[in-house]
Amino acid sequence: MTDEPAIEVRGLVKRFGGRAVVDDVSLTVAKGEIAGFLGPNGSGKTTTIRLMCGLLTPDAGEGRVLGHDILTEGRAIKREVGYMTQRFSFYEDLTIEENLRFVAGLYGLDDARRAVSGTLADLGLTSRRGQLAGSLSGGWKQRLALAACIMHRPQLLLLDEPTAGVDPKARRDFWNEIHQLASGGLTVLVSTHYMDEAERCHRINYISYGKLVAKGTVSEVVRDAGLTTFVLSGRNVTRAAERLEGMDGVDQVAPFGNTLHVVGKNADLLRAAAERVAKETGCDLSPSETSLEDVFIQLMGKARDNMQ
């Protein structure tokens, strides 16, 4: 039981109007792991998460979540999973406390009153507990939703962009808490668009147009992408960027402040192009680490090519 993965799904397919939004996705998340779920807008992250917690029925595929079959044991999965929706979906016309009470009641928590007051205290919302949830700011709504979905001590957290719109301090607190919970055995699957958050995950999964195109630890994903990166710096980086755009071997040109990142799959061609432009424009050229973001941009472009 203990070595069975928390999530193990194979060949999940979900179609909307004939279009495969999730296309043959297989995913394994080990117990106690924090798994990142990344991908561009509309790539199928939310849909995949819904499939895993029994909110959508897959058109094909199978799998187990916490040892329960996703096709037949949705009820058991719901009891042990905490799902935080991407869009705030608690009751805006209920107060913070009433929302928490509602959740505590639905999970049949033994000491609902203590659980609610404890959660309020953890959130630092005790003094505002009578405020309508709808009147909270966006970031506070996220924090309330997160608190509500861990109140029943689930074994698996499915978090759909939990930190969208949350300030840096709260984001760090959130990640500290996630790591703390994970060290206690909780498994977390978290979707995000932030690179720094992806780097805080044990493993990441990258989905694009419904297909899982990369997975592994951050360094594995970067390594597997096989990209080379150079940094140009100097006064003429803007002109250098114009020259580099569209040259053979140059896949990405991205300015970062006073520097320019050029990324390419073919190291030799890239080096030749970068050296020529650096000489022409009088910029300094140095090799650099490829970042996760570079990899993702590369993956996005590739997936789009596949679509056409």
Partner 1 sequence: MSRFFSFTRLRALLSKELIQMRRDRITFAMMLGVPLMQLMLFGFAINNDPKGLPAALVAPTQDRYSRAIVTALELTGYYRFTHPHASAAEAEALIARGDVSFVVTLPSDFGRRVDRGDHPALLIEADATDPSVASGAVSTLSTVAAEALLREKGIEAQARESAAQSLEVVVHRRYNPEGVTQYNIVPGLLGVILQMTMVMMTAMALTRELERGTMENLLSMPATPLEIMLGKVLPFLGVGAVQVVVVLVAARAIFGVPFLGPLPLLLLGVFVFVSSLVILGYLFSTVARTQMQAMQLTFFYFLPSLLLSGFMFPFRGMPGWAQALGELFPLTHFLRIVRAVMLKGADTAAVAQPMAALTLFAIGFAAFALLRFRRTLD
Ligand X SMILES: Nc1ncnc2c1ncn2[C@@H]1O[C@H](COP(=O)(O)OP(=O)(O)OP(=O)(O)O)[C@@H](O)[C@H]1O
Residues forming contacts to Mg ion in the complex (CB under 5 A) are 45-46, 86
Residue 21 touches which member of ligand X, Mg ion, partner 1, none, C-beta under 5-8 Å by kind: ligand X
- Strand, helix or coil for residue 7: strand
Q: Taking Cα atoms as reference points, which of 153, 213, 163, 219 lies closest to residue 186?
A: 153
The residue among 45 and 243 lying less far from Mg ion, judged by its C-beta, is 45
Asked if 266 touches ligand X (CB under 6 A), the answer is no
Q: Contact at 8 Å (CB) between 97 and 115?
A: no
Q: Taking Cα atoms as reference points, which of 163, 123, 298, 161 lies closest to residue 221?
A: 298
Asked if 37 touches partner 1 (CB under 8 A), the answer is no
Residue 42 touches which member of Mg ion, partner 1, ligand X, none, C-beta under 5-8 Å by kind: ligand X
Q: Give the distance between the most distant pair of CA atoms in the chain.
A: 73
Tokens 């055995």 sit on residue? 185
- Looking at 4, 11, 42, 219, which residue binds ligand X (CB under 6 A)? 42
Distance CA 230, CA 224 (A): 18
Question: What count of residues does the chain have?
Answer: 308
Residue 44 touches which member of Mg ion, ligand X, partner 1, none, C-beta under 5-8 Å by kind: ligand X
- Looking at 41, 72, 127, 308, which residue binds ligand X (CB under 6 A)? 41
Smallest separation, CB 166 to ligand X (Å): 16
Residue 170 touches which member of partner 1, ligand X, Mg ion, none, C-beta under 5-8 Å by kind: none
Inter-CA distances, 147 with 95, 109, 113, Å? 14, 15, 15
Residue 56 touches which member of ligand X, partner 1, Mg ion, none, C-beta under 5-8 Å by kind: partner 1
Asked if 107 touches partner 1 (CB under 8 A), the answer is yes
Asked if 256 touches ligand X (CB under 6 A), the answer is no
- Looking at 7, 46, 82, 159, which residue binds ligand X (CB under 6 A)? 46
Backbone φ and ψ of 28, nearest 5°: -130, 130
Asked if 67 touches partner 1 (CB under 8 A), the answer is no
Q: What number of CA atoms fall less than 13 Å from residue 269's CA on the CB side?
A: 12
- Looking at 6, 81, 189, 292, which residue binds partner 1 (CB under 8 A)? 81
Kindly state the helix (H) or strand (E) to which residue 215 belongs, with its residue range: strand 211-216
Q: Which two tokens stand for residue 262?
A: 């050029």
The residue among 14 and 143 lying less far from ligand X, judged by its C-beta, is 14
- Looking at 11, 89, 126, 275, which residue binds partner 1 (CB under 8 A)? 89
Partners of 264 in the β-ladder: 228
Query: Which residues sit at the interface with partner 1, rule CB under 8 A?
Result: 50, 53-57, 74-75, 78-79, 81, 83, 85, 87-94, 98, 101-108
